[in-house]
A = this chain, B = another copy of it.
Amino acid sequence: MTSTSRPHGIYSPVVTPFTATLQPDPQRYVRHCRWLIDQGVGLAVFGTNSEANSMSVDEKKKLLDALVEAGVPTDRMMPGTGCAAFTDTAELTRHAVSLGCRHVLMLPPFYYKNVSDEGLFRAYAEVIERVGSDALRIYLYHIPPVAQVPITLTLIERLLGAYPQIIAGIKDSSADWNNTSALLERFQPRGFDVFAGSETFLLATLRGGGAGCITATGNVNPAAIVDLYRHWQEADADARQQALDATRAVFAQFPMIPALKAAIGIHTGDDGWGTVRPPLVPLSAEQRTALGNALAGAGFTMPGIEAVA
């Protein structure tokens, strides 16, 4: 199934469950993805918060296969497919498109630093040419704090000029509102969809004409974030934004990825969710208790989430 609808609203970089021996766990994964879909959140599987770059291409292909085989709707997915090597990016992107996941979120090649826009243009162009599908829609992934390789306005302009049908938008994880604002002003009116990199800038992005946000905390607080998206033009929008900020602030006291997984573990009663792949480390027992207490104190809940039976 290939969707013709354009992604918008709230997506989450889905955290990836691992078994005790650090293998990807499709059973917990499908369960969590279904819950997110039920909450109104799209699946930006294989994002930074998914520990995507701690997995091989084959591991990611198999997880995507598992979701599709389980009937998780491909038109609600936006898999991250950007790897260090463009040959890997092309392979994973080709696989995603072949499964009907036409919308992909694509990091630039991220090992070499201080590379030119010309070089990054060539990297994206190689992937586009090698995938060779008119169905492909690429959302550029700008996350300079982690990738350390930025996607500049000049690069976007050039990519849009060369591939106007395929270059579809961006996730801006710069945490720099000036950059998000410039993207909204310059590119959103041309149909290039701007997603904020977290819910912190969700209301501001929507007021600026943007498409939504792709946010780590969508894994744990999906309904409230979706509610702001649905009601952003109402009188209580600023209050809703403040409530989202307060919940995010609880998680931000801890390393984000282990904290997201620990919270899912606490609310499903499934401690196995706490496992992360190195170079990340799970929360300590003390951190996990502190997180649980802070979330309880904030009245935080995850309605409807269940452990794998």
Give the B-binding residues of A (Cβ under 8 A).
22, 48, 53-57, 59, 83-88, 91, 108-113, 115-116, 118-120, 122-123, 125-126, 145-149, 277-281
Contact = CB atoms under 8 A, between A and B. Distances in A.
Contacts of A145: 113
A122 B18 CA distance: 15
Contact of A120 (B59, B91, B118, B279): B279
Given A148-B148, A278-B119, A278-B122, A112 B56 contact: no
Contacts of A22: 126
A66 B84 CA distance: 23
24 contacts: A48-B111, A48-B112, A53-B112, A54-B86, A54-B87, A55-B87, A56-B87, A56-B88, A59-B85, A59-B87, A83-B84, A84-B84, A84-B111, A111-B147, A112-B146, A112-B280, A113-B145, A115-B279, A115-B280, A119-B278, A119-B279, A120-B279, A122-B281, A148-B148
B54 A109 contact: yes
For the complex of A and B, the 6 pairs showing the least CB-CB separation, nearest first, are A53-B111, A122-B278, A119-B279, A123-B278, A115-B279, A53-B84
Contacts of A146: 111-113
A138 B238 CA distance: 54
A70 B279 CA distance: 37
Given A56-B88, A56-B91, A112-B280, 7 more contacts: A48-B112, A53-B109, A54-B109, A84-B84, A108-B279, A116-B281, A125-B278
A96 B119 CA distance: 30
Contacts of A120: 278-279
A118 B116 CA distance: 34
A84 B281 contact: no
Contacts of A108: 279
A108 B109 CA distance: 17
